[in-house]
Amino acid sequence: MNPGRVILGIDPGTGRTGYGAVRQTGDEVEFVECGCISTDPKGTREERLLELHRHLSALFERIRPEVAAVEELFFSRNVTTALSVGEARGVILLAAAQNHVTVTSYNPMTVKETVAGAGKAGKPEMTQAVMYSLNLSEKPRPDDAADGLALALCHLIWEGLDS
């Protein structure tokens, strides 16, 4: 039996990193798991990044994705937030490299256009599109997890267009 291949979508953040995994077997795509890695807000920046790395390493080891689709850092007026997300993204790239996982990156507008059909789609539209695409009866929680699933779906769609 072909177990298929797992695509892991990751929405970076130091405080909360959302993730969602899907499995593709032939033309079929199925939900594997989703969730959110939260770090201790009382920890130092270094401690939080280390905690994120530990959780990501365990996640990569457990689900063994072939590809990780990671949201690109978008321009932010809040420099502190942008730096924090950039640091988290660096930790994600490191964990992927340590686990020999290929990384692809997508900007938020591309993910929204690809999955929901509109570059300015909001959280409710994105969640509905993810639920429909994966035939889910319940909303992925929290929103960061739905974002992770959307990234994984976006990758599969773009990969199909490139074939």
Q: Report how far residue 130's alpha carbon sits from residue 118's, in angstroms, rounded to the nearest whole number.
A: 13
pLDDT at 1 over 50: no
162 is catalytic: no
pLDDT at 163 over 70: no
pLDDT reported for residue 69: 98
Q: What is the pLDDT of residues 6-35, one digit of tens each?
A: 999 999 998 999 999 999 999 899 999 999
61 is catalytic: no
pLDDT at 160 over 80: no
Contact 113, 129 (CB under 8 A): no
Given 11, 33, 87, 147, which residue is catalytic? 11
Q: How far is CA 162 from CA 15, 155, 156, 157, 158, in A?
A: 34, 10, 10, 9, 6
Q: What is the pLDDT of residues 77-136, one digit of tens each?
A: 677 778 888 999 999 999 999 999 999 999 999 999 999 888 788 888 999 999 999 999
143 is catalytic: no
pTM above 0.85, yes or no: yes
Given 33, 71, 87, 147, which residue is catalytic? 71
**Which ranges in the chain belong to alpha helices (H)?**
45-63, 79-98, 108-116, 123-134, 143-162
pLDDT at 59 over 90: yes
Edge-to-edge strand ranges of the sheet holding 67-71: 28-38, 16-25, 5-11, 67-71, 102-106
